[in-house]
Amino acid sequence: MRLPDTLTHWFWHWVVRRAPRAESVRLRHKSIYVLPTAQGIGFLLVITLLWLLGTNYENNLVLASAFLLLSLMTVSVVHAFRNLSGLTLSVQRAHPAFAGEWAEFDLMLQPASGSRHEALLLGWDRDLTVEADVPHRAERTVTLAYRARRRGWLVPERLRVQSYYPLGLFRVWSWVHLDGRALIYPAPRSSDHPPQAHLSGEVGEQLSAENQEEFQGFRPYQVGAPMAHVAWKLYAREQGLYLKDYAGYQSEQVWLDWDALPGLDQESRLSRLCFWAVEYGKTSAEYGLRLPGLDIPLGRGQAHQERVLRALALYGMPEQAEGGERG
């Protein structure tokens, strides 16, 4: 069992050495691999059979057919290789995502000088690829997805770029290591009430229920309640039938506090804080975040929400990149 593991480690070390990680990668001959497909092997067997028949029966027509098909196969190898050669790939943007979801990366594809690239298949997962054509003297942007399994920085590993162009007789491919990373937020987990710190009258004294403005949490469903207040997302996840609870605040200021979630482990607390940060981001309320050793002041808007989510994503870990799994 050790020998296959050793050979696998040596092989991937050899691949990385020939195609190291970079911001922009141009495919060259040393990083492009070509092998016949099942159809290509069958095609070669047909050629061999025709050659044997033509030689045995001294039939020039059969021999000519064999040589014609062999020429076609040889030309197919050249075109298959040229279809990847010179292609340049780079990461333009990495979109944040939540743990358990798919993080998206925008890739720029640039053709080789005087060339075009047909029927390219790109993806980190064998079962999740994107097909793209890169026209002559033009650029093409494609969006690829990578599974984000946990919070923090996500750096995908080997990107597979392959093609069966032009006749499907040969598979030509390359592994590309691109320098791009996406920030992964904790997976949001709902709770009945927001984890608020104790508020004084100066920062959010609650008003009567008639002045309902801000979302406060969930409460059990009551017959006759407005259908617009039903928490349909919770119901769809089979978490029960609840109503969204609203109330008004004088100053609309809320502190999301780590200490307001006693008895939970670190990841559970971060997931619930993340959920309420997203929910309050949909309102006009000012909200802040209190974590052990870190306070983010009250604020609102997209930039403030991104700052809060970033703090939750990177809490308790150095800001180093997280390596993806090898495909």
- Label residue 14 by pLDDT band (50, 70, 90): low
Mean pLDDT of the chain: 83
CA dist 270 → 195, 233, 257, 290 (Å):
11, 20, 10, 11
- Label residue 94 by pLDDT band (50, 70, 90): very high
The predicted-structure confidence for 305-325, as pLDDT tens digits, reads as follows 999 999 999 998 875 444 443
Domain ranges of the chain: 22-183, 201-314
Instruction: Please say whether the beta carbons of 92 and 180 come within 8 A.
Output: no
Question: In the prediction, which pLDDT does 321 show?
Answer: 42
**Secondary structure of the chain: what % helix, strand, coil (to 5)?**
35, 35, 35
Question: In the prediction, which pLDDT does 324 show?
Answer: 42
Instruction: Please say whether the beta carbons of 216 and 280 come within 8 A.
Output: no
Q: What global pTM score does this model have?
A: 0.73
- pLDDT reading at 102 higher than 60: yes
Phi, psi dihedrals of residue 12, rounded to the nearest 5°: -70, -30
The three-class DSSP label of residue 165 is coil
Token pair in block for residue 318: 């150095």
The predicted-structure confidence for 227-271, as pLDDT tens digits, reads as follows 666 777 776 766 677 777 665 544 468 899 998 888 889 999 999
The predicted model gives 40-44 an average pLDDT of 94
Token pair in block for residue 327: 């495909």
